[in-house]
Amino acid sequence: MQVHTRLIAAFAELYKHWPKPDSGMRDTAFLKLTGALVRETDIPTDIKEKYIEKLCDLTGDDETRKRVKKVKYQEKQYNNNPDQVSGVKSLAEYLGTNFKAFDEIKRAETADPLKDRVDIMVKTALVAKGLVVKRCDHFLAQNFPKPNYLLYPIIAISLIVSQIIFNFDLFRLELDGIHKQLSNIFSDKSILYFSFFLYIFCK
């Protein structure tokens, strides 16, 4: 019953904007309408055919059988090549209007759990302070500074500098660890400092 209520609302809106018999637009309009019903709804074939037949009666169309056949024709087309079957947007553009009531009979979109998880991760990352999130295509399109090479294309100055900084950080961490170990061994600060600097010299 609910499906029929929504269909009545959708077809009542269609009826208001349907082409006149002498407009030469009806055949294409019916083709686009049946395409939209097939492409964007889950309405059974027989019900679609009944409503197309009723629209023909209300608009004084004398080619009812031809119009009704378009339902199964579009179903076959959609199964073979979905891209060739137009939706309600194409019908609305053709008739120069917007069929809001058609939204009520559209197929419900299926949820994509993976997409939902990705969206949540991105939104969470975006609220992190100071963190900038870039899409992959934006990252690849970004103009990064070109490196200066000592031995093209293997050794770049930036790589050498990065390695020096990295090694310095490791050495600093190592010194910190040695300092703590020596502190546990020696209570006399003078011996502690001597041992610490001796270790640095040996390194």
Residue 197: predicted pLDDT: 52
Whether the predicted pLDDT of 7 surpasses 60: yes
pLDDT band at 11 (very low <50, low <70, confident <90, very high): very high
In a 3-state reduction of DSSP, which class is residue 78?
Answer: helix
The mean pLDDT value for 43-61 works out to 94
Q: What is the mean pLDDT of the chain?
A: 75
Residue 202: predicted pLDDT: 47
b/e map of 163-185 (b: 16 or more CB within 10 Å)? eeeeeeeeeeeeeeeeeeebeee
Q: How far apart are CA 85 and CA 62, in angstroms?
A: 25
Residue 164 or residue 62, greater confidence: 62
Residue 2: predicted pLDDT: 79
Residue 170 or residue 44, greater confidence: 44
The mean pLDDT value for 52-66 works out to 94
In a 3-state reduction of DSSP, which class is residue 134?
Answer: coil
pLDDT per position as a tens digit, 89-128: 999 999 998 888 898 899 876 444 555 555 655 555 555 4
Whether the predicted pLDDT of 194 surpasses 60: no
Q: How far apart are CA 179 and CA 189, in angstroms?
A: 11
Whether the predicted pLDDT of 9 surpasses 80: yes
pLDDT per position as a tens digit, 62-79: 999 999 999 999 999 999
Report yes or no on whether pTM surpasses 0.95: no
CB 15 within 8 A of CB 58: yes
The mean pLDDT value for 31-46 works out to 94
The burial class, CB within 10 Å (0-12 / 13-18 / 19+), for 52 is buried
Whether the predicted pLDDT of 82 surpasses 80: yes
Q: How far apart are CA 70 and CA 51, in angstroms?
A: 12
